[in-house]
Structure 1
Amino acid sequence: MNTEKIINLAKISMLSLGFFVASCSTETFDENPEDTSIETKKVFFMGDETVVQVLPDGTYLLDDMKIFPEQVSDSPNDGVVDPNDTPDAGVKLGLGGGIRKWSNNTVVYVLDRSLSANQIRVTRNSMDEWSSKTAIRFKERTNENFFVTIVNSGNQCNCASASLGASTRGRINMGVLTSEVVMIHEIGHTLGYVHEQTRRDRDDHVIVNFQNIQAGAESQFRLNSRAELIGEFDLRSTMMYGSFTFSKNGQPTIVEKSTGRPYPRRRAELSPGDIAGTNQVYPGGGTDPDPNPDPNPDPDDICDGVDEWVRGQRYQVGDKVTFRGFLFERDFTRWNRIGRCGTEDPAADICENVEPFNGNNSSYSTGDRVTYQGSLYERQSNGRWTNLGQCGS
């Protein structure tokens, strides 16, 4: 299946289907990636050391992706995907992080008033490309906790940047001249996908000409050692850099290995691999009948038919397991606890009408509930917080 788009980060950035991280333009960037006046910081992202730009709001900019503190670490040992790492009773509030899928295959968005009529048109056309060919859906926000705000950056370029995965602080910054080619790509980041050219099997398919890359942009062509790959390398992916992206001299930065020549420019459309990968990470209803159905299923048990987690087994985004009496779902970089076995499916959003955790509030009582880093927590009698599951589920 041509799906590599999803990374382990995110990954499982798409589940590592081969999706990606992102760029600010179609084939040629309009902006100089190097600015010595900008504060930078070395962090580990998906296990690999990289340099990020520190933004005023405390988040980071990596390539054209906006990432959050919980998505990086100070050491490479940040990617242990094991239900043991999921917050539970007796564990302090706030553990966990990383890249998350959107619940119910639905990207919730806000169109900022700063957008021009053309930017809105480009945005809607780009959303239509995703929704017409995959199970992804888009919904304007009402009161959802997870949403992405789409704004006009004011930059006079065919460029954009996007936060990686679902977030309570999601954002897509559009340049004044942003095209569908770029916007379709940025939506890929919002879905949790990273760049195709960072796949660890990249060098089997293309040659990166580092001598032609602009100073300061070399990191955008780094390999990601932890990307969990599905399908074949996809030159046509919307998450793939063009042959001349970040060129400093008009010569190609990436060429096909088999021919040594540039490949066709990216088009404003998803490739067959993008589509297949997305429909695996974000499956849309309708599954094959169980060949060995339970003759006495429990309609109220969310764990019915779900296998127990197995150490050492490779899991992909969207896989579900049971572990110590709870149902977990695999995300790009973590396991999310869905609920306790023996109970009914949770409501559409368990965090609805629940206030965020306030670290300055010392008067929380047993039974109080708060949201924190995208999850719902309940105060226990021993003063600790129990993770009740991911918001949006």
Structure 2
Amino acid sequence: MKFKNVVKSTTVTTLILGLIAASCSSEDFEEAPENSDNEVQLTEKFFLGEKVLVEKIDSETYKLDGSDILLSPDQLSDAAFDLKQNPEPTGEVSTKLGLAGGIRKWPNNTVIYVLDNSLTANQIEVTRNSMEEWSTKTNVKFKQRTNENYYVTISNDGRSCNCGSANLGVIGNRGVIRIGTRTSEVVMIHEIGHTLGYIHEQNRSDRDNHVRILFENIQNGAESQFRKSDRAQLIGDFDIQSTMMYGAYTFSKNGRPTITRLDGSVYPRRSARLSSGDIAGTNQAYPGDNGGGDGNGNPDTCEGVEEWSRNRSYQVGDRVTYRGFLYERDFSRWNRIKECGSNPEEDICNGVSEYSRNTRYSAGDKVTFRGFLYELQSNGRWSNQGQCGN
């Protein structure tokens, strides 16, 4: 199907399961459909090299059509590109760090967050309970921001709905999680999954081996929420009980299921907890020791870590050594963690300013960017020098 560069669509059904909020809400949330004359401008972009339709929210934010996923301009491109499935861990990224693209993990397994003043007492309680679900069952930790230059802002979107939206991964200081006044822990746990970098489970490339998508029951305009992504990194096995999985009736236009098991049976509603698959997958993507070790209780070290091989496939969280450095696999690239054998006494990022897209840099200049130290090379590319805090 061909799309024009800008597509106008009129939302006819705007309030079922938080559709108006572009959310993945609890299946307990029900509200009658309501007509709307609001026009949404959809622009054709490419995300992870795949064609998508997005709505521009502001200069720093795009929303994936009909979804609760928010993307930054850095994550989108105007043309298709070949996303390498097994990139070489050189540590180099594009000339403009702000256009590095892809999905980025949180360094040191720690989500840095800000609670906006707009949040109600109930929203704060829901947020803290949801964080506790993640932090008590996985290696992920949460830290309220002090002076960090990369963080996610959690705010009230002002609507009375059980809904939410969130950026994928760490987006410098522009990442957000927006929730409604009636947002439940079911939804908030899900939105935290997005900020950790996770896509929806039903969008996985292997989903047809496990579930059936019943497009005849899906609301008009919501079909894109059930597309498969062949470029997104898979973490663990498909998990129908995942917090990232849509409910069986999500975006139904007729009260019939939109997703079933292969045998046609309907699976249970999501609950306010992580599944065993969520826990195992997260502990793979975010290895133990706050990201400062090998996942087995050992400190940051290259000892026992295999050298990178172009003949192997790697998952998010895997570690390799390469030309004397320790690297960890991110969603779309490798992050240099440290030099093998080094044991710096202080943070390598101390005293180094954050990258600014408005500053002209010269070869040899160093900046910090999303938790890592970078140095501009003579070839005009930035080289990852290691993770801040190491």
Place the TM-score, normalised by the shorter chain, in its bin.
0.7 to 0.9
Call closer, same or farther: CA 1:228–1:380 in 2, change over 3 Å. closer
Higher strand share: 2
**Consecutive unaligned residues in structure 1, runs of 5 or more:** 1-21, 291-298
Superposition RMSD on alpha carbons, in Å? 3.1
The aligned residue for residue 26 of structure 1 is: 26
Call closer, same or farther: CA 1:343–1:58 in 2, change over 3 Å. same
The aligned residue for residue 7 of structure 2 is: none
Which of 88, 95, 107 matches 1:83? 88
Distance 2:337 2:37 in 1: 43
Q: 1:338-393, CA deviations, whole angstroms, 9 ceiling, x for partnerless residues?
A: 23344226855x4454323345545x567543234664333568887544235566
The aligned residue for residue 195 of structure 1 is: 200
The aligned residue for residue 311 of structure 1 is: 310
The aligned residue for residue 135 of structure 1 is: 139
The aligned residue for residue 120 of structure 1 is: 124
Distance 1:229 1:347 in 2: 35
Q: 1:171-217, CA deviations, whole angstroms, 9 ceiling, x for partnerless residues?
A: 10011110001001001111111111112221222221112211211
Call closer, same or farther: CA 1:366–1:313 in 2, change over 3 Å. closer
Distance 2:50 2:233 in 1: 14
Distance 1:29 1:50 in 2: 28
Which secondary structure state, in structure 2, belongs to the residue aligned with residue 52 of structure 1? strand
Residue 177 (str. 1) matches residue 174 (str. 2): no
Q: Determine which structure has greater relative contact order: mean sequence separation of CA pairs < 8 Å that are 6+ residues apart, divided by chain length.
A: 1
The aligned residue for residue 294 of structure 1 is: none
The aligned residue for residue 280 of structure 1 is: 284
Instruction: Single out whichever of 324-333 and 213-222 deviates more from structure 2.
Output: 324-333
Distance 1:83 1:107 in 2: 27
Which of 95, 119, 122 matches 1:92? 95
Which secondary structure state, in structure 2, belongs to the residue aligned with residue 343 of structure 1? coil
State the aligned residue count.
358
Q: Does structure 2 retain, via aligned residues, the 8 Å contact 1:83–1:328? A: no
Call closer, same or farther: CA 1:113–1:201 in 2, change over 3 Å. same
Call closer, same or farther: CA 1:173–1:352 in 2, change over 3 Å. farther
**Consecutive unaligned residues in structure 2, runs of 5 or more:** 1-21
Which secondary structure state, in structure 2, belongs to the residue aligned with residue 123 of structure 1? helix
**How high is the TM-score relative to the length of structure 2?**
0.81
Which of 367, 370, 380 matches 2:367? 370
Q: 1:43-75, CA deviations, whole angstroms, 9 ceiling, x for partnerless residues?
A: 222342211112212322121111123323321
**Alpha-carbon offset, residue 98 of structure 1:** 1.7
Q: Does structure 1 retain, via aligned residues, the 8 Å contact 2:157–2:178? A: yes
Call closer, same or farther: CA 1:217–1:226 in 2, change over 3 Å. same
**Alpha-carbon offset, residue 221 of structure 1:** 0.5
Percent identical residues = 57
Which of 354, 357, 360 matches 2:355? 357
The aligned residue for residue 146 of structure 1 is: 150
Distance 1:382 1:225 in 2: 32
